[in-house]
Amino acid sequence: MKENIDKQLQARNIKPTTMRQLVLQVLTVQKTAISLPELENKFEKADKATLYRTLKTFEENKLIHSIDDGTGSVKYALCREACECHPEDLHVHFSCTVCGQTYCLTDIPVPKIHLPAQFQLESVNMVVKGICSNCDK
């Protein structure tokens, strides 16, 4: 497992420090996207700023992507191995209004949009809000 973690980091040109290994471990176990405050709570004693910068580093190197789900805190989730976070790589996200979980709908690509003349697309954030399958029962 540790092996794998380090490989992932190296594949994205991120030096495998202890802190980064731990954070990536959490992100790997995690099934839904996680916010900075939530990440903080996963550790007994961890510094917000360090975690913050760790996430920034991960994001810059496209190990993770961020989702603004409108809940007030940005969430983060692992990218697929080959992801370069280009517009074609993007998928839809789902934010549950009951449990607050945010899901990567990796099978659902963001639909192409035909923009008005002279508008240039760089990226898209598409978040569906509703009730997730866990809360639907």
Partner DNA sequence: ATAAACTTTGCAACCCGGTTGCAGGAACAT
Partner DNA sequence: ATGTTCCTGCAACCGGGTTGCAAAGTTTAT
Q: Which of 50, 123, 125, 134 binds DNA (CB under 7 A)?
A: 50
Are 39 and 53 spatial neighbours (Cβ–Cβ below 8 Å)?
A: no
Are 46 and 29 spatial neighbours (Cβ–Cβ below 8 Å)?
A: no
Stretch binding its own copies (CB under 8 A), from 8-16, 24-32, 46-54, 100-108: 100-108
Beta bridge partners of residue 76, listed in sequence order: 34, 66
Are 26 and 76 spatial neighbours (Cβ–Cβ below 8 Å)?
A: no
Answer yes or no whether residue 50 interacts with its own copies by CB under 8 A: no
Question: Within 13 A of 4's CA, how many CA atoms are on the CB side?
Answer: 6
Are 75 and 104 spatial neighbours (Cβ–Cβ below 8 Å)?
A: no
Stretch binding its own copies (CB under 8 A), from 11-19, 53-61, 75-83, 109-117: 109-117
Answer yes or no whether residue 99 interacts with Zn ion by CB under 5 A: yes
Minimum CB distance to DNA smaller for 9 or for 92: 9
Element (H, E) at 77: strand 75-78
Minimum CB distance to its own copies smaller for 20 or for 75: 75
Answer yes or no whether residue 127 interacts with DNA by CB under 7 A: no
Binding residues for its own copies, rule: CB under 8 A, are 68, 70, 92, 94, 97, 105, 107-108, 111, 113-133, 136
The binding site for Zn ion (CB under 5 A) comprises 96, 98-99, 132, 134-135
